[in-house]
Structure 1
């Protein structure tokens, strides 16, 4: 990959990050518009890391639970297609394995919202199994603890369904 191609890929991640900041700032509509434009540029066959990241956050920008599920499924599909070669060329790609607990947790939450507890339990089990890739003990940066706590909360919620 040339330096220009790598810089272009970094620009895509920067633009995704800018849309995420809008989302976290409460401007869901503008975040959704920007992420949608980026998705059109990247395309269904674009860089898997970009598709995974974008779809993961695009799901959070949805108002409809079915649309949220569709985007979370796209994120998981993209994560599954991040190749070893891609991981070797971009440090952020190595973090994809750490993304799996969150990807499955989001899918479980989507299925709860859609009143599909069996599917929710399946993805909750997958989230728990994948959580071994998260930081442990003193190396925990807060993300791992947050994901594990969310898994535990959703597990309690599912007991009532």
Structure 2
């Protein structure tokens, strides 16, 4: 997880290509059958570093698939407060937004509904508020027929 964190910091500092390369190399070591926690986290961050919406969709789908293989017990080995169901609103929100940007309105609404169904699992803190706000923003963009990237990416 230290290598993942270092790569994420690279991406946040504007070094997207280096961060993507570092995370892709880690994915290559872990693989599609590797540890579900690592796959979920890697895919989630890799999605945000892609140059195309289609590639972002691929990684967002991988993140959600890995979450279905993940147990609370495994997630809590990293952080005792983690619960898999707390990951789901964000993962579904990301899929809703990428489907919206691809013009897949029905799939976007399905994913947005899934995010909304699990939003009660979120804590009442800044993270929970960010996801709730993201759900509202994507919903408004869907209603407006927008396929543009939102200023505040969920």
| 1:1-161 paired onto structure 2 within 5 Å | 13-87=1-75, 89-91=77-79, 94-136=82-124, 140=125, 142-161=126-145
Q: TM-score, length-normalised on structure 1?
A: 0.85
Stretches of structure 1 that go unaligned for 5 or more consecutive residues are: 1-12
Q: Highest CA radius of gyration, 1 or 2?
A: 1
- Superposed displacement of residue 131, structure 1: 0.8
Q: What is the number of residues matched between the two proteins?
A: 145
Residues 39, 93 of structure 1: CA spacing in aligned structure 2 closer, same or farther, 3 A cutoff?
farther
Q: TM-score, length-normalised on structure 2?
A: 0.88
* CA contact 1:48–1:82 (8 Å) conserved in 2: yes
* CA contact 1:48–1:78 (8 Å) conserved in 2: yes
Q: What CA distance in whole angstroms lies between the structure 2 residues aligned with 1:69 and 1:86?
A: 25
How well do the aligned residues superpose, as a CA RMSD in angstroms? 1.5
